[in-house]
Chains A and B, each alone.
Chain A
Amino acid sequence: MAGLTAARDLLTAGCRSFQVLEARERVGGRVLNYDLGSGYISEVGGQWIGPGQTAVADLARELQVDTFPTYYQGKTVVLGGEGRLEIDLQGTFGTDERIGAKLSELSKLVPSGKPWASSKVNELDKLSAGDWLAQQDIKPEDRSGWDTSFMLTCGVAPAKMSLLHFLSMINSASCDYMKLDSIKDSAQGTRFVGGSQLLCTRMAEQLGDRLRLACPVRAISEWDRDVVTLHTDQGLIRARRVIVAIHPALCNQVRFEPALPEGRAALQRAWPAHSPARKTAMVYKRPFWREKGLNGHTMQVKGPLLWAWDNSPPNGEIGVINAFVVNAMLPSDHQAAQQVLTEIYARSLGEEALQPVAYHDHDWGLADPWSLTCVSAIPPGFWSEHGESLRPPCGNLIWSGTETADIWAGYMDGAVRSGHQSALQALASLRRA
């Protein structure tokens, strides 16, 4: 999404001499639609936007992609062992708002785009979010909610998540924890009609033959000279500037000649890539749970299911339950995984759940070699050591991608912002040249 946004900006600025090189045979990166047939889709990757995510919202308006609210009205079901509880969480994940308020206050000290520049960096970056939570007297029944929340938002359990980075994420959300980690009026509150990948396919349509699919870049040489050479599966390409809009950990799979400066190389080597989310979609003829006063959301304590939610189309013409699952607690065989999940949904939503009409299962860690991971589970100490190496260009290489965004890094909004930023950088530097 970052690369396509940059390309679209270049076109708008009148620049015609560029190519977009996409490794996959499709556009969208970590944004992907699954075609349910009859014009319906379910999102396989990034799918929501929320308050303050103005860059992606603006892009959607320009591309005439409409939005609609995530369905949350009704009761959520919490499962654990043989236990079951229906509870109206009022559009939240049920995490303790008292602790959320403390985090919101602390986040004011951590600038989203530069967490390493926080006045409290020494104090905050040595702690994991788990270290901090352990001091908050959280009851056993609430711990599972925090674990799940971190797994979903940060891609890792609190014990290995940098407190500094987590606070920078809250800082992105107007210093309001509930705007980051909730559903109603939060970063999970709004979806795109036709799915988030529609943004990318519409941008790609505008590029014509300036976009090359199935064209992975294997090596980048002479990046410190006037003309950079890219070694791709479709031959050599030479350019005066290169916008590298891929995940920092994926940069390790590109050979750089000469080697990158040690600071940048160290950042890439250390960039976490251990959050390969697995997301599933169970499709039903209709969203039957809504008639029972349920919102289709299920959370499971120490089970295969992290969180399931109602991912039906805007008018609920068919029923779709999407879920993030614990990879190792669900069989890798999709048929067996479907069986496990339908039984869980039957317990949470009713016997009708045993009769799905389709199932989709996508592990981002295994689906292709070009994703590796979902969100970035930044560990304690990372920003103090590597922060300054995140954005400075190396020769004629301009670093882009959502991880480089000033706000909402890791989100679709961050991708769009970084795309705008990198196009500006490229154009400005070429004009100077």
Chain B
Amino acid sequence: MKKKLLWGAAVLLVALLALFGRDLLGFYHLVTYIDSTTQAYEADGPWPQTADACYGCHGLRGNSQHQRYPSLAGQPADYLKAQLHGFANGTRHFPNMQPLAMSLGDAEIDKLANYYARQTPMDNHTFQPDPGLRQQGEKLVQAGACAACHGEKLMGQGAFPRLAGQGADYLLVQLDAFAQGSRVDPTGSMKAVTQALSAQDRKALAHYLAALAATPK
């Protein structure tokens, strides 16, 4: 009798697993995922965090897959602080960012800048560069000595932003803005650099830089 009951229970268990095993496994994976992402999230502080407001455009931990919205991961903190203050005081123009930056206090700006500066930058793997433009862009970067300000691997330093692996459309819009004078950098050198380039040159630069590996510091 006992043996029959054991067999019955085993058969029932197998039947239940056959019916619901996939669902149970899916649920288990979901719970595990929520646990692991919660732990990673809380390493930066309790829920909810100010940086949550940024991820829609700038991606999880500052890595954007969208070519028009910039990645913030690994950007130098000084650069990020300067940009947020610039948006807030109107010296840098972008209608979506300006009111948001105005709503941030100095402490929040410092915290956000430091948060993104310490995130690991990822390569821009959703961008496929045009081979010809990429080659042309590489030559321009070398001739223009971009590394002198933006760092050896163009990963940014101090007040100068990371360019490697940045969104291609974003880079092009910024290069055009410097050339047209609608964006101004503190040294004023970007205006001179970009005005000496043709529209095609600026596009080539964007293709080369966007495809460049983002090397963590």
Contacts and interface: CB of A to CB of B under 8 A. Distances in A.
Contacts of B69: 327-328
Contacts, number: 156
B37 interface: yes
B96 A159 contact: no
Contacts of A151: 56
Interface in B56-93: 56-60, 63-69
A83 B28 CA distance: 7
Interface stretch (B7-15, B97-105, B141-149, B185-193): B97-105
A106 interface: no
Contact of B34 (A130, A140, A157, A373): A140
A301 B99 CA distance: 28
Interface string A128-166: 001001100010110110010001000011111000000
Interface in A285-312: 301-302
Contacts of B30: 78-81, 83-85, 301
Q: Is the interface of B mostly helix, strand, loop or mixed?
A: helix
A330 B65 contact: yes
A205 interface: no
Interface stretch (B46-54, B113-121, B155-163): B46-54
Contact of B103 (A84, A144, A270, A336): A270
Interface residues of A, number: 55
A157 B69 CA distance: 18
A301 B36 CA distance: 12
A301 B57 contact: no
Nearest to B27: A85
A265 to B, nearest CB: 12
Contact of B47 (A80, A143, A274, A330): A143
Given A82-B29, A326-B55, A331-B66, A249 B34 contact: no
A332 B68 contact: yes
Given A327-B66, A329-B60, A329-B65, A157 B53 contact: yes
B56 A301 contact: no
Contact of B33 (A301, A377, A381): A301
20 contacts: A80-B37, A81-B29, A81-B32, A83-B26, A84-B29, A130-B52, A143-B47, A156-B53, A157-B48, A157-B52, A157-B55, A160-B100, A269-B99, A302-B37, A328-B64, A328-B66, A329-B59, A331-B67, A332-B68, A336-B126
Given A78-B30, A82-B26, A327-B56, 5 more contacts: A81-B32, A143-B38, A332-B126, A332-B167, A365-B96
